[in-house]
Amino acid sequence: MAEGAAASGPLPVVPFLKIPAGGDPYLEGQQCRNCGKIFLGERTTCSNCGESGRFEARSLAKTGTLYVYSIVHRSFPGIEVPYVSCIVDLDGGGTVKGNLIGVDPVPEKITMGMPVEVVFKKAPKRDAEGNEYLTYYFQPRS
């Protein structure tokens, strides 16, 4: 890639979002080989059992349940509000923070424990070099 040129495809917005060549994107967790607990992002020690240096990358489920949420009415300039910030427990392990879309941002429409799924979309804005980013959201699952 030439210096200053934009990447040909979207880049992952976070390191734990993986975009395999020719495959579907997925979220990747690090699973402790001692206790099985799954975390997002690289770490050296398991906060569940204290084991060090024994993690294995795992592809995480695209389904889960809403653990908690917050309706955001004030944010950085340029960020459209209101939106729903949430934490989701993925099926099979992994707890992920993200935004809930596809639902009105009002408490009457959102239930703790509701089934959700991971969806991947291009981020609304490019960076200063013109790169596109792929990001993830959660949406209600019927």
Contact in structure between 31 and 61 (CB atoms under 8 Å): no
Q: What angle do CA 98, 60, 138 make, to 5 degrees?
A: 30
Residue 52 binding Zn ion, by CB under 5 A: no
Q: How far is the CB of 16 from Zn ion (least distance, A)?
A: 18
Nearest distance in Å: CB 33, Zn ion:
8
Among 35, 68, 81, 112, binds Zn ion (CB under 5 A): 35
Give the CA radius of gyration of the chain: 17
Near Zn ion by CB under 5 A: residue from 17, 27, 32, 96: 32
Of the candidates 45, 64, 14, the one whose C-alpha atom is nearest the C-alpha of residue 37 is 45
- 48 or 75: CB nearest Zn ion: 48
Separation of alpha carbons 136 and 72, rounded Å: 18
Considering only 34, 85, 95, 99, the residue that binds Zn ion (CB under 5 A) is: 34
Q: Contact region for Zn ion (CB under 5 A) — 14-22, 50-58, 67-75, 97-105?
A: 50-58
What is the sign of the dihedral through the CA atoms of 73, 75, 77 and 81? negative
Considering only 9-17, 45-53, 68-76, 110-118, which stretch makes contact with Zn ion by CB under 5 A?
Answer: 45-53
Q: Quick one: 34 or 63, whose CB is closer to Zn ion?
A: 34
| Residue 44 in tokens | 């050296």
